[in-house]
Amino acid sequence: MSDYRIEQADHAPETPPRARVSDAEEGRSRDYLDGFLAQRPQDVSPGEPGGALYDGVIEALKEIFDPEIPVNIYDLGLIYGVDVAAEHVAVTMTLTTPHCPVAESMPGEVELRVAQVPGVATAEVNLVWDPPWDPQKMSDEAKLELGML
């Protein structure tokens, strides 16, 4: 024998009770992160990530494409570091292989492009082979572009 009981309702209420207060009644916007992601960090040095000079250098690096792979060198994961000290920028980078056909010209192109960023007086490129580049260093955007995702 079960303990269940069935009741018949004569009529249903016209509007069911609300489970929660609407956002409009509370004076809140629907997206709690609205505007948060658009804010810039406060008191950021121009040479730090998020700063104008640093971001300008990154944008310049994103305009340089590997001639064999249709992806910019930043998203390709060839840039290991960008150090900004006053008006001097040092870029640490690698290439896909030591035998890359642009091994002689790519560092020079990177140096020229970075030196053209407003606020940069001097630029230098340090080409390293350790750690070696591998496809896991690519950004998700680059992997998607190349059909690897």
Query: Over pLDDT 90: what percentage of the chain?
Result: 50
pLDDT at 23 over 60: no
| Contact between residue 83 and residue 89 where contact means Cβ atoms under 8 Å apart | yes
Looking at residue 128, what is its pLDDT?
Answer: 95
In this structure, what token pair is assigned to residue 144?
A: 């998607």
Cβ contacts of 3 within 8 Å, gap of 6 or more = none
Residue 8 has pLDDT above 90, yes or no: no
pLDDT tier for residue 61 given thresholds of 50, 70 and 90: very high
pTM of full prediction above 0.75: no
DSSP-based three-state secondary structure for 76: coil
Question: Band of the pLDDT at 78, cuts 50, 70, 90?
Answer: very high
Predicted local distance difference test score (pLDDT) of residue 121: 94
| DSSP notation for 28-41 | --S-TTTTTTTPPP
109-148: per-residue pLDDT in tens? Answer: 999 999 999 999 999 999 999 999 999 999 999 999 888 8
Q: Say if CB 116 and CB 128 are below 8 A apart.
A: no
- For residue 143, report the phi and psi dihedrals to the nearest 5 degrees: -65, -40
Alpha helices by DSSP H, listed for the chain, are 23-26, 52-61, 106-115, 140-145
Per-residue model confidence (pLDDT) at position 31: 66
Specify the range with the lowest mean pLDDT, choosing from 50-54, 73-77, 90-94, 111-115: 50-54
Asked if 89 contacts 105 with a C-beta cutoff of 8 angstroms, the reply is no
Average pLDDT, the chain: 84
Q: Hey, how many other C-beta atoms are within 10 angstroms of the C-beta on 127?
A: 15
Residue 71 has pLDDT above 80, yes or no: yes
Q: What is the pLDDT of residue 45?
A: 75
